[in-house]
Amino acid sequence: SQELEQSPQSLIVQEGKNLTINCTSSKTLYGLYWYKQKYGEGLIFLMMLQKGGEEKSHEKITAKLDEKKQQSSLHITASQPSHAGIYLCGADQAGTALIFGKGTTLSVSS
């Protein structure tokens, strides 16, 4: 079965700093999703990547799927306290449902 490994597990950055979160899959990715979750709340959809080399941006968050389609990165530019939360990558398992990485907890200090 497919597994997603996220790194780092947790991250503390100073407000205004850039950061990157990685998601590595044990199998080829056919649909890679990034979600954000505040503790105890639902998941907020950020971006979906489909094609190798694809890059998408929304406000200060950029996600990329590498050419070999086994790794994705999420980059936040000039972090703000509002970026704090748990970032989860998810992969579509043969069109059934999503499996998730274990998440990266981001804290932003002001």
* Nearer to other proteins (CB atom), residue 66 or residue 92: 92
Question: Least CB distance from residue 8 to other proteins, whole Å?
Answer: 15
- Token pair 């105890």 is at which residue? 40
- What's the burial of 60, exposed, middle or buried (CB within 10 Å: 0-12/13-18/19+)? middle
Q: Residues 22, 76: contact at Cβ < 8 Å?
A: no
Angle at the Cα of 9 from the Cα atoms of 7 and 11, rounded to 5 degrees: 95
Question: Least CB distance from residue 48 to other proteins, whole Å?
Answer: 6
What is the C-alpha to C-alpha distance for residues 14 and 66, in angstroms, rounded to an integer? 28
* Nearer to other proteins (CB atom), residue 52 or residue 77: 52
* Nearer to other proteins (CB atom), residue 6 or residue 79: 6
**Sites of contact with other proteins (CB under 8 A):** 30-31, 33, 35, 40-45, 48, 50, 88, 90, 92, 94-103
Question: Least CB distance from residue 54 to other proteins, whole Å?
Answer: 11
